[in-house]
Amino acid sequence: MDQDDSYNNYIAKNWPDIRIINDQSNFWHLAYAWKMHTEEVNSKLHGEWNFKNIQDGHGKLLNMYALMGDGKIIKGELDEEQRGSEAYLKKNPQYDKYDFISEGDSPSFFYLFDNGLRSMENPTYGGWGGRFGVVNDKLFRNTVLDYDVYTKRFEAEYSLMRWFDDIQNDFAARADWAIASDYKDANHNPTLTIKEGLDLTAKPGEKITLHAEGSDPDGNSLTYKWWRYFEADTYEDSKVKPAQVKPEMAGNMQLGIHQEVAKGEKLNTIDLQGSDTNTVSFTVPADAKSGNTIHIIAEVQDNGKHTLKHYQRVIVTVK
């Protein structure tokens, strides 16, 4: 965020070759702005879920995790910022006891999870830390939008919000690991490989079939889901092209950036067959140009506690 000017005033001047992902807006949405969202993305940010799955009965470390009105007073914090206090809850009645407070710093770390989304390869791919546009070869910012299926708008922050359930489920499993005395006492994520590989080339009009092979260390049953991350890829058809927002417009930190979708416009015109099975097929559009990419996300989900996932991203490059 460049909260303390350390990027603009020091790093950019003295270390110009360091690549920077400058998140100026997305992170607010896994932080104090979460109450602005539709309920569909927030279901695991409410008090009941957080208390039960993260804080209560999960050992000494998780007992220190801070939730709204949980009675914890943070030494040195301003009185009006003591979100654990009864007084704060009374003054801010939009929150319930044990509601999520903020994980605003966490998205910048989420890139490093090797969850299969490949966000650490390229900030424009998107992953648990959100998705970013290219300002120049050293700088990435919130200049790209993802289509929020609930609000029907393109929003920078949806590139982060779309993962909230998965992020919180994963966190809850880790909270369980903190108290498990044996491996079998908690659930663990499945793994996933794609038989055909992750970086493929194809001709326009070619039919592609991909096979997902999941495995679960706990022996859970697995289900599969495939979808095209059309906002992240570069094939353009008659669908709406995700709006490229000028960098100077990306500074609206509290509200994010929104763009309405015109009625009747298609968001994705590549039909995935078998998208809820372990084998998906689709045809590379005949008008695809050489160099275009198509990003297909494969998800595997177990049926253990917190229904954990792993992903793979297949990138098809048209030649």
| Residues in touch with Ca ion (CB under 5 A) | 187-188, 216, 218, 220, 302, 304
Based on CB atoms, which residue is closest to Ca ion, 130 or 304? Answer: 304
Could you tell me the smallest distance in angstroms from the CB atom of residue 307 to Ca ion? 9
Nearer to Ca ion, 182 or 248 (CB): 182
Beta carbon of residue 223, minimum distance to Ca ion (angstroms, whole number):
12
Indicate the residue among 222 and 315 with the shorter CB distance to Ca ion. Answer: 222
Q: How far is the CB of 119 from Ca ion (least distance, A)?
A: 23
Which residue lies nearer to Ca ion by CB, 173 or 314? 173
Q: Say if residues 26 and 34 touch (Cβ distance below 8 Å).
A: no
Q: Which is nearer to Ca ion, 53 or 220 (CB)?
A: 220
Tokens of 127: 């992953």
| Closest separation in Å from C-beta 190 to Ca ion | 6
Backbone angles phi and psi of 127, in degrees to 5: -175, -160
Give the number of other Cβ atoms within 10 Å of residue 75's Cβ. Answer: 4
Residue 120 burial (CB < 10 Å; 0-12/13-18/19+)?
Answer: middle
Angle among Cα 162, 164, 167 to the nearest 5 degrees reads: 125
With CA atoms as reference, report the closest residue to 100 among 42, 17, 182. 42
Minimal distance, residue 116 CB to Ca ion, in Å: 15
Q: In terms of Cα–Cα distance, which of 271, 273, 281 is closest to 208?
A: 281
Structure tokens at 143: 């200049």
Closer residue to Ca ion (CB): 206 or 218 = 218
Q: Tell me how far, at minimum, the Cβ of 174 lies from Ca ion, in Å.
A: 13
The least CB distance from residue 187 to Ca ion, in Å, is: 5
Cα 91 to Cα 117: distance, rounded to the nearest angstrom: 40
Closer to Ca ion by Cβ: residue 161 or 300: 300
Least Cβ distance, residue 212 to Ca ion (angstroms): 16
β-strand partners of 74: none
Select 53 or 85, whichever has its Cβ closest to Ca ion.
Answer: 53
CA distance 19 to 115: 22
